[in-house]
């Protein structure tokens, strides 16, 4: 390829990147350009693209990036960001957490995270507190690092925002494929874990598991537990919750914790969905309970 043809080849990408910078819409890029843009963004701020620090979101008709926990964790290391002790207060029906951060150059910033705690008691209220702390940590980290990205803890609170699955090759997975994947996970005849690991099919570790039992009596979920698991559409939502609440160290940890729970429950299907999710919630909540003394003095 000569220099002239190379310039002609690169020009469309440059033009498309310019459109993204001006309009903020990644849907105008093709798959390869989207991958290139993603890697250039990571490179510009020193993040490792292999850890998927950003994911995609459809917001106001535009395809944009939002920051995951991995982004905030890496940015704190890169910029030497330290966080102050959380200041927690309750105002009306909100738990508000304020955190101050400082980088290695002495620059400081302050931000807050707010979560509704209306009608919540006990563990559910502690969950709200944890989420507010996480929001404050992520927001002040991104702000101090000079990134105006949305954090994943904020995505679900934005009306009309829709998470978009984009493959490593930059291909957008459309809604029909996502719905089909969800239906496959939920289908009783094909119980699976997160679409990847199957435990109730022949030859996959558990043969002919017993029929799932309804959650009754002492195993029935409490009201605050139902309020949480009713928000989960599938395994990924449960795992995202565990990471957002810092009850798992990262996505891989959350996935392994889910796998362990599914093994204990001898499979995951539409019949025992609530039971498995309740088991996962209680398993992860044990970590939260262990941290209650720390939170009480925060």
Q: How many Å apart are CA 64 and CA 260, to the nearest integer?
A: 34
pLDDT in tens, 212-236: 333 444 467 787 778 788 878 788 8
Averaged pLDDT for residues 60-83:
88
Torsion of CA 205, 259, 265, 129, to 10 degrees: 180
Asked whether residue 49 carries a pLDDT value surpassing 90, the answer given is: no
Closest CA to 252 of 184, 260, 203: 260
76 or 2: which leads in pLDDT: 76
- What pLDDT score does 251 carry? 80
Averaged pLDDT for residues 18-40:
78
What pTM, to 2 d.p., does this model score?
0.56
> Who contacts 98 (Cβ-Cβ below 8 Å, separation ≥6)?
86, 87, 89, 110, 111, 112, 136
**Least trusted range by pLDDT, from 17-26, 160-169, 225-234:** 17-26
64 or 22: which leads in pLDDT: 64
- Burial status of residue 197 (CB atoms within 10 A of its CB: 0-12, 13-18, 19 or more): middle
Beta carbons within 10 angstroms of residue 143's beta carbon: 15
Q: How many Å apart are CA 68 and CA 82, to the nearest integer?
A: 19
For the chain, how many helices (H) and strands (E)? 11, 9
pLDDT in tens, 182-205: 443 344 333 333 333 333 333 333
What are the sequence ranges of the domains in the chain?
Answer: 82-144, 189-292
């Amino acid at each position: 390829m000569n220099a002239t043809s190379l310039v002609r080849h690169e020009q469309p990408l440059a033009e498309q990147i310019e459109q993204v910078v001006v309009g903020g819409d990644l849907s105008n890029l093709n798959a390869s350009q989207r991958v290139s843009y993603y890697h250039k963004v990571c490179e510009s701020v020193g993040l490792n693209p292999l850890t998927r620090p950003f994911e995609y979101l459809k917001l106001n008709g535009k395809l944009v990036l939002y920051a995951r926990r991995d982004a905030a964790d890496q940015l704190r290391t890169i910029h030497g960001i330290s966080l102050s002790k959380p200041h927690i207060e309750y105002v009306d029906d909100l738990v508000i957490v304020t955190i101050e951060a400082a980088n290695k150059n002495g620059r400081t910033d302050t931000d807050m995270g707010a979560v509704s705690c209306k009608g919540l008691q006990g563990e559910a209220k502690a969950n709200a507190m944890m989420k507010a702390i996480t929001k404050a940590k992520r927001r002040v980290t991104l702000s101090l690092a000079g990134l105006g990205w949305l954090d994943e803890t904020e995505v679900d609170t934005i009306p009309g925002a829709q998470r978009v699955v984009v493959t490593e090759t930059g291909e957008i997975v459309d809604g029909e494929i996502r719905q089909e994947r969800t239906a496959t996970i939920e289908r009783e005849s094909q119980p699976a874990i997160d679409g990847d690991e199957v435990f109730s099919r022949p030859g996959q570790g558990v043969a002919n598991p017993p029929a799932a039992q309804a959650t009754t009596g002492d195993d029935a979920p409490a009201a605050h537990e139902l309020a949480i698991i009713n928000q989960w559409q599938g395994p990924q939502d449960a795992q995202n919750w565990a990471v957002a609440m810092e009850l798992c160290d990262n996505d891989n940890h959350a996935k392994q914790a889910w796998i362990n729970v599914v093994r204990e429950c001898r499979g995951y299907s539409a019949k025992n969905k609530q039971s498995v999710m309740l088991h996962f919630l209680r398993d992860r909540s044990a970590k939260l309970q262990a941290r209650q003394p720390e939170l009480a003095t925060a």
